[in-house]
Each structure stands twice: as C-alpha cells, then as structure tokens.
Structure 1
Amino acid sequence: MLPKGTLVLGGAASGKSEWAENLLISSGLQLVYLATGRIEDDETNERVAAHKKRRDSRWTTVETPLELGPSLAKLDPSTPVLVDCATMWLSNQMMAEADLEAAQIRLLEALRGCPAPWVMVTNEVGHGIVPDNRLARRFREAQGRLNIALAAEADLAVMVIAGLPQVLKGELP
C-alpha cells in the first residue's frame, strides 16, 4: 500500500522520476501524472518525450504548470498521482513573478487535502556551489525551503542517487 504522501528527491538525471513512476506502477492501479514542465525549446521537448515514452495506458497526463490545487482536489482516492516536478513548478512560479510564500502555502494545503496518495518529484539543488547570480541564488534558497516543507508533509522521503533509492524518512511499501 502506498503512503499518503511521498517525496522523491535527487539531482538532475539521477533517476528520480523513473523511480517514482515505478513506485506508483507497483500499486497496480490507474495513475495520474501531473506535469508541471513547459516545453519551450527542443531540449525540453526531447526530455518530455522520453518521459512520456515510459508511461503506458495506466497513466492519465494532466498539464498543470502553475496551480496544482484544482487537479489534486478532484482526484479519486483510488487513483494515485505523480507530480513531476516541484522544481519546474517553482521555476514557473518565479517566472510568473508569483508570491512564492503564498504559492507554497497553497501547494501544501492542496497536498494535505488531496484524496489520493501523492508522489512529488523534486530536485535537490543544495549540493553544488553557490550560484554566481542573484536569481539563481534566490531559486536555490526557495527550492531548499520548498523541499523542507514537502519533506515535512510526506510520510516517505526518498533520495535517488544513480537510480538507487535511499530512504530518508518512513519505510518503502
């Protein structure tokens, strides 16, 4: 049985999305994929296409770049959801010049109210060097705060490194 909330962290290209997908597939249920990314160039288009290729007919994909709450609220309790990913969601919020604190509060409230088990994928951005520009530093700090808040909400937190899961909180189902 899946935990109510799962956070899957990792670096870029660490295998976190694929690991999260496989966790949900193991439930044997129909699944929802909330995609937060926006395709703005060929490279992103290729990455999105690779993600889509992994998903079969068990998945229903909903594109939700900014407001996840309405999509999370209307889920059936028996339909687990993968949100991929919090990093793109945060980036979209910053590009829209949203109030990040208010957006984060809405996201956390939506996860608390979500009737279905949820899995949130996010990037761990705090292991590198201090960025050389103000916007990148602001993003790194906001991502760190968001990850801390998401981990607090999650029953299970897993760091994926080189495709290998390291449990930080809770127990794997």
Structure 2
Amino acid sequence: MPEGHLTLVLGGARSGKSRHAEALIEACPAPWTYIATAQAFDGEMQARIAEHRSRRGGNWRAIEAPLALPEALADVPDGQPVLVDCLTLWLTNVILAERDVEAECGRLVEALKSPRGPWVVVSNEVGLGIVPENPLARRFRDAAGSLNQKVAAGAGSVVFMVAGLPMKVK
C-alpha cells in the first residue's frame, strides 16, 4: 500500500473488518500506529478490546482517541502506517457527548483527505438492516451512512467484508 493512500474497510459486525485491516497495515514496514476509538463501558466491551490488543505485537503503538480522532491523526509522524478502528464507535462517542455531529464528521473527513502514510480506517455498514424504530438509532444510522459515503469518496480503496472475505468495491 503506497504512502498517502487511504483504505476504507467496511462490513457488518464480526465480519472480519479489523483482522483484514490489521493485515493490510502489517504488510507495510513497521512501526505501525493503531488509533482506537472504543471506550470500555462494560465487561463485553472490555473483552472485545482485550481481544484486539492480544492480536497486536510490539511493533504497534496504540493511541486512544474516543473523541479527538482528527487530532490523533494529525499527531502521527509522516510515513507511518495507521489503522483507525473504528469510525462508527467514534461516531457513537460524538453523538453521546452531544457534540455537533456534522461539524465533527467534517473535521474528520478533512483530516482523512491527506493521509501522510498508508492509512486504513474501519467502519461498520449499518444501513443494510431494517429501519430502527428509535429516533437515536435512526440518527446514528443516518450519520454513519453519510460519514461512510464521504470517507469512501475520498479513499483510494474501499473493501467490503462479508464472512471474513474481502470484496474490493473501489
């Protein structure tokens, strides 16, 4: 993957997005930066975070950025391969913090326009199911769909994961 290249890895829950994204980054020369957006609010999320950490070795530098994702990207050294996991968790954090979703997404999309290394971002595709009955869930689904479209438009590559299999979309 060339320097200055952005790849978006999309898929449903447990579709293999993170593993595929990690493999893309690990194909680049180390060291690698992992920007985590998850927050461990409960035991299940703590277990998921631990599972992700256990797969990464000593060549990974982790940055936790549940809200300050554009700033974390700005702080990564030029040429450094970066994995952001994941945009939809970041978006959840933005919504729950009652921040201006459109403005925050705009800042993130702007930060992703000029990757200074091979960058891979992971996001959930949440628009394939039924329309949620709850207004907050609909707001999230709509914001995630809009964010994914904007990131995909600027990405050099887009991969859709299905049952652990990568399908090249762009």
TM bin, normalised by shorter chain, reads over 0.9
Q: Is the 8 A contact 2:6 2:115 kept in 1?
A: no
In the alignment, which residue of structure 2 is the partner of 1:12? Answer: 13
Deviation at 1:113, TM superposition (A): 3.7
Q: Percent identity?
A: 50
Where in structure 2 are the equivalents of 1:100-119 lying within 5 Å? 100-119=101-120
Corresponding residue pairs, total: 169
Normalised TM-score (structure 1): 0.94
Shift in Å, 1:73: 1.2
Residue 166 of structure 2 is matched in structure 1 by 165
Q: Deviations over 1:28-74 (max 9, x none)?
A: 32100000000000000000000000000110000000111222112
Rounded Cα–Cα distance in structure 1 between residues aligned with 2:124 and 2:106: 19
RMSD between aligned residues: 1.1
For structure 2, the 5+ residue unaligned runs are: none
Is 2:92 the partner of 1:91?
yes
Correspondence 1:129-144 to 2 at 5 A: 129-144=130-145
Consecutive unaligned residues in structure 1, runs of 5 or more:
none
Partner in structure 2 of residue 68 of structure 1 = 69
- Aligned to 2:113, what secondary structure does the other structure show? helix
* TM-superposed deviation, 1:10: 0.4
Contact 1:126 1:140 in 2 (8 A): yes
Q: Does the Cα contact within 8 Å between 1:77 and 1:117 map onto a contact in 2?
A: no
TM-superposed deviation, 1:114: 3.7
Give the alignment's TM-score, normalised by structure 2. Answer: 0.96
Runs of 4+ in 1 over 2 A off after TM superposition: none
C-alpha distance in 2, partners of 1:114/1:5?
6
Task: Tell me, yes or no, if structure 1 residue 41 matches structure 2 residue 65.
Answer: no
